[in-house]
Amino acid sequence: MAEQSSTTITRRPLGSQGLLVSTQGLGCMGMSAAYGARDDEESTATVHRALDLGITFLDTAEAYGPFTNEILVGKAIAGRREEVQLATKFATEFDDDGTRHAVNGRPEYAHRAIDRSLRHLGTDYVDLYYLHRVDPDVPIEDTMDAMADMFMAGKIRYVGLSEVSPETIRRAHLIHPITAVQSEYSLFARGPELDGVLRTCRELGIGFVPYSPLGRGFLTGEITSVDDLAPDDARRGLPWFSPENIARNVAVVEVLKTLAEAKGVTASQLALAWVLAQDTVPIPGTKRRRWLEENAAAASVKLTTADLAAIDKAAPHGVAAGERNTPQGLATTNR
C-alpha cells in the first residue's frame, strides 16, 4: 500500500485570487453530524494529526450540528490558527438556539451568520466563506454584496459558492471575485464535468473543491451492505445505499478495488488520486486518524494515462445506481 508515514502534503493556489491551501483538505462535517455517533476527543486528535501532516485546509459550516462542528473545529485549532486555511459556510437560517428555518440569502442574515460563526470558531476572520446554498428568492447579487462588505470589513479573506450553476457563478463573480466553488464530485458523482461547472471555474480562474470525493464513503470499499452503517447514519436514507441500488454500486467498487490492488494502493487512495488528477482540491471527511492518514497518502499516488483510462472505463459518467442525494437534498442545489 502507499506509504503513509512519509506522506508530505504540499500547498497549491486555490483559484487565482491568492489563497494558498494544502493540496488535500479535511471535511469536518462527519465529526459532528450525519454519520453516526460523535467522538469529540478522537475528532480533535484527527484535526491535530491533519495539521501535523500538512493538511491545513479545514472545512466546516454553521449547519453542521448546527454550530457544534464550528465550535469543535475552533477549539481544535486554538493556538494553531495561523497554520490553518479555515473555510465555513452559511445559507440555511438558524436561530441562536439552533431552530432551523429555510435557506436565507438576504444580506441581513449573511451578516448575522458570519458574526456568529466567528464567535463559534474563536477567530476574527475566516479564510474562505461560502454561500452554502443559493436562496432562490434572493438575487445572487444581493447576497454577494453582503459578502463583499464582509471582505472589506476583514471578516473574510476570500469568497466561495457551493452547489451552483455556471450562470450563478458568472453573475456572482461580477460582483466580487469568487475564489472557490464547492460541489459534490467523485467517481460516483461526475456531474460538474457535464453541467459546465468545472469548465466555468477553469475559465474564470476559480478553484474547485470536491466534497464527498469518496462517494460518501462508498468508494472506500468498506461498505458492502447498509448494515455497515450505524443505525443513525444519514446515508441510510440516500439512494446509493438503498436495497435496490447497493449491490450494483458495490460491484463497481469491486472493480475499482482490483485496479487499486494492482497499483499497490487502497480503493480510497485510488479514488482520491483520481480526483486530485482533475486539478481540484478535495476535502475528504473523516473523524478518525486512521482514515485521515490513509487519505493523506493518496497525495503521493501518481496515476498514468493508462491508469486514468482504466478508471474511466470502470466508473464512467452515470455509473452509480441511484441519485447522489434525496429529492429534497437535490432541490436545495442551484445546479
Using DSSP bridges, classify how beta strands 85-90 and 26-27 pair: parallel, antiparallel or unpaired.
unpaired
Using DSSP bridges, classify how beta strands 85-90 and 126-131 pair: parallel, antiparallel or unpaired.
parallel
User: Can you tell me the distance from the alpha carbon of 259 to that of 131, in angstroms, rounded to the nearest whole number?
Assistant: 37
Q: What string of DSSP letters covers 58-119? A: EE--TTTTTTHHHHHHHHHTTT-GGG-EEEEEE-EEE-TT--EEEE---HHHHHHHHHHHHH
Contacts of 172 (CB under 8 A, 6+ apart): 140, 141, 144, 161, 164, 178
Contacts of 88 (CB under 8 A, 6+ apart): 59, 60, 61, 62, 70, 117, 121, 126, 128, 129, 130
Closest to 316 (Cα-Cα) out of 194, 167, 200, 222 = 194
For 273, the grid coordinates are 488520486
Residue with cell 471555474: 201
Coil, helix or strand for 164?
coil
64 is catalytic: yes
Tell me which of 64, 109, 130, 211 is the catalytic residue. Answer: 64
- Residues β-bridged to residue 160: 130, 180
User: Can you tell me the distance from the alpha carbon of 59 to that of 41, in angstroms, rounded to the nearest whole number?
Assistant: 18
Residues classed as catalytic: 64
